[in-house]
Structure 1
């Protein structure tokens, strides 16, 4: 469904013209209905990968390689083609739901006008569809929510609204960019469960960006570990947990010993790292190894 080959993102300094490579030739494929988690520390290139797929990379940046969605090369598509693809086949859920909605317009405008304008749906049909979508994401008081302004709803409620808007056009690929970062732990679990249910119910493929390995493992079929703009390894959550291939992945896993059963070797590794951190002269080495 999605095939990315040798993806390179290069940005240039507007003052000096100096170029910096941000993504370093990454490749991966995503099957229909599959969920892939991009995990890694801040600045590893996770969100930039999503921006390249959407065609909203930073101004002046250059994207090389191939991004193919159902046989269409997105990097070779015209602006009008990309707009149609983004309207029909791609959907983004951002990490801050407050930034996704206009603060001076009610929720109904966000959902109803999006469907009626982009998909030539009558307003009456769009209103009925909006209420149905809100029900699907666990909102029962749909009339009140549709009348509400963003500041009148909690972060968790707003993220549900954003998810409803994202699936309104039945996209092929859902891009979730740290969608639970601004939420408390309980609401995070609820939103992740909704995303997983919507993905399975609608047959969506999904790329889930997060720095939280627990969340990624709960909702994704495979995980791709990123560091400094490079995908280091890809595998199932069990493979990444039990048989990490790189020192960086092992350090990430050792930093979260709750992922392992009692007696797992990674617990001993994590305890050893914690003890070393308390010895004089050991802090810098451990910080460099963990990288997060």
Structure 2
């Protein structure tokens, strides 16, 4: 479905001409309907990987390698082909929902214009579809939300709106770039559950970017651990949790927050994966 081979991203300082390599030959494969968690600390190259998939890397950057979606090499595709693919096959959920919507336009315009442009739906039909999408992501008072401006909605409500917009075009691949970072813990859990439900209901493939291993394990079939622009290892949540291959992955595991001090009896289950990523959670 998606194949990334030897992806190298080099950015150039416009003033000095100095080149800096950000991604160092990343290779990944994503199957249809699969969710892959891209995990690692800030600055490891996770978001830049998504930008390369979308073709929105920094101005003047040089991208080498291959990013193939259903047989089309996105790095070699023309502008028209890329625009069609972005409209029909790819969707992005950014980490800041406020930045995804125009602050001077109501939610209705955000959802309806996207569907009208991509699907050529009449306005009335697009509005009905927008209300249905909002219901799918857990919003019941659809008339109020459609008429609201972004500043009138909470962060969690806005992220639901952004998710509804992302799935409105029925994409093949959903790119979620730390979509819960700006949300409180309770809302994080709700948004992750919505993403998982939408993915399974619509048969979407998804790349879920986060620095939180436990969060990724709850929603993803496989995890790819990334550091300093390189993918260090790929495996199921259980494999990464129980048999990490690198010191960096072990350090990420050790950095997970615990409710009790190290060595406390309550943490013994967590050390075996009992509280922070059971099989049931990984399969959820």
TM-score (ref. length: structure 1) = 0.89
CA displacement 1:235-282 (0-9 Å, x = unmatched)? 000000000000111111122274996177789xxxxxxxxxxxxxxx
- For residues 254 and 153 of structure 1, the distance between their equivalents in structure 2, rounded to whole angstroms, comes to 36
Tell me how far 1:13 sits from its aligned partner.
1.0
Partner residue, 1:272: none
Partner residue, 2:95: 95
- For residues 263 and 104 of structure 1, the distance between their equivalents in structure 2, rounded to whole angstroms, comes to 49
- For residues 217 and 270 of structure 2, the distance between their equivalents in structure 1, rounded to whole angstroms, comes to 18
C-alpha change, 1:233 and 1:59, in structure 2 (3 Å) is same
Alignment match of 1:262 (pick from 260, 265, 268): 268
- For residues 153 and 264 of structure 1, the distance between their equivalents in structure 2, rounded to whole angstroms, comes to 36
Q: Is the 8 A contact 1:177 1:209 kept in 2?
A: yes
Partner residue, 1:180: 180
Structure 2 unaligned segments of length 5 or more: list them.
260-265, 274-284
Partner residue, 1:270: none
Secondary structure of 2:171's aligned partner:
coil
- For residues 257 and 112 of structure 1, the distance between their equivalents in structure 2, rounded to whole angstroms, comes to 41
Q: Is the 8 A contact 1:41 1:211 kept in 2?
A: yes
Tell me how far 1:119 sits from its aligned partner.
1.5
Alignment of 1:191-206 (within 5 A): 191-206=191-206
- RMSD over aligned Cα atoms: 1.6
Secondary structure of 2:32's aligned partner:
coil
Secondary structure of 2:75's aligned partner:
helix
Structure 1 unaligned segments of length 5 or more: list them.
268-292
C-alpha change, 1:161 and 1:257, in structure 2 (3 Å) is closer
- For residues 213 and 22 of structure 2, the distance between their equivalents in structure 1, rounded to whole angstroms, comes to 23
CA displacement 1:166-223 (0-9 Å, x = unmatched)? 0001000000000000000000000000000000000000000001111100000000
Q: Is the 8 A contact 1:253 1:266 kept in 2?
A: no
Secondary structure of 2:53's aligned partner:
helix
C-alpha change, 1:142 and 1:83, in structure 2 (3 Å) is same
- For residues 186 and 271 of structure 2, the distance between their equivalents in structure 1, rounded to whole angstroms, comes to 30
Q: Any runs of at least 4 consecutive aligned residues in structure 1 with deviations exceeding 6 A, and if so which?
A: 263-267
Tell me how far 1:86 sits from its aligned partner.
0.3
Secondary structure of 1:248's aligned partner:
helix
- For residues 217 and 119 of structure 1, the distance between their equivalents in structure 2, rounded to whole angstroms, comes to 34
- For residues 164 and 199 of structure 2, the distance between their equivalents in structure 1, rounded to whole angstroms, comes to 12
Q: Is the 8 A contact 1:254 1:266 kept in 2?
A: no
Secondary structure of 1:206's aligned partner:
strand
CA displacement 1:124-183 (0-9 Å, x = unmatched)? 110110000000000000000000000110000000000000000100000000000000
Tell me how far 1:118 sits from its aligned partner.
2.1
Q: Does 1:61 align with 2:61?
A: yes
